[in-house]
Amino acid sequence: MSSRRSRISDDEINDLISKLQALLPESRRRTTSRASAAKLLKETCGYIKSLHREVDDLSEQLGGLMATMEADSPQAEIIRSILRS
């Protein structure tokens, strides 16, 4: 009975954790050593922050690109639509 435990089993959680590990850009992916969940979560935090920064940088780059083009060219329109989303 204790194994049923609110429909979410430990295996599912382990599965999710390994999926998360697969997403993270770790250099030691070949060994696929199971790091502890706490470390994984911390890495995920840092990774999400770096992704945010990257998105911001790229958006800025796009914005810079747009400044070099004419304002009403179709490219500018596309970039504007991207930056709006």
Partner 1 sequence: MASSSIYSPPAEPKSTTHPLPNSLFDFLWFNSMACQQQPLPHGFLLDSSCFPSYLFSSLDDACSVAVVNDNSAAAAASFDGHFVCSVIANQEASTMIENKRKSRSDETSLTTVSTQCKNNAKEGKSKKQKRAAKKTEEKKQSSNSDVYVRAKRGQATDSHSLAERVRREKISERMKMLQGLVPGCDKVTGKALMLDEIINYVQSLQNQVEFLSMKIASLSPVLYDFNVDLMDCINQQQKLIRGIVQEPQPCVEQNNHLQSQAKSYENEAFTSYQLMEQASGAPSLHSQAHTNFSQEVTGSPLQVGAPRQGFQDQAAFLNMCHFQ
DSSP state of 5: S
Q: What is the 3-state secondary structure (H, E, C) of 60-81?
A: HHHHHHHHHCCCCCHHHHHHHH
Q: How far is the CB of 54 from partner 1 (least distance, A)?
A: 5
Q: How far is the CB of 2 from partner 1 (least distance, A)?
A: 16
Q: What are the residues whose beta carbons fall under 8 Å from the beta carbon of 24, sequence distance 6 or more? A: 40, 43, 44, 47
Q: How far is the CB of 31 from partner 1 (least distance, A)?
A: 18
Instruction: Tell which positions 33-52 bind partner 1, by CB under 8 A.
Output: 36-38, 41-42, 44-45, 47-49, 51-52
> For the chain, how big is the Rg over CA atoms in Å?
21
Using the structure block, give the residue that is written with the tokens 């030691």.
Answer: 28
Chain residues binding partner 1 by CB under 8 A are: 6, 8, 12-13, 16-17, 19-20, 23, 25, 36-38, 41-42, 44-45, 47-49, 51-52, 54-55, 58-59, 61-62, 65, 74-75, 78-79, 81-82, 85
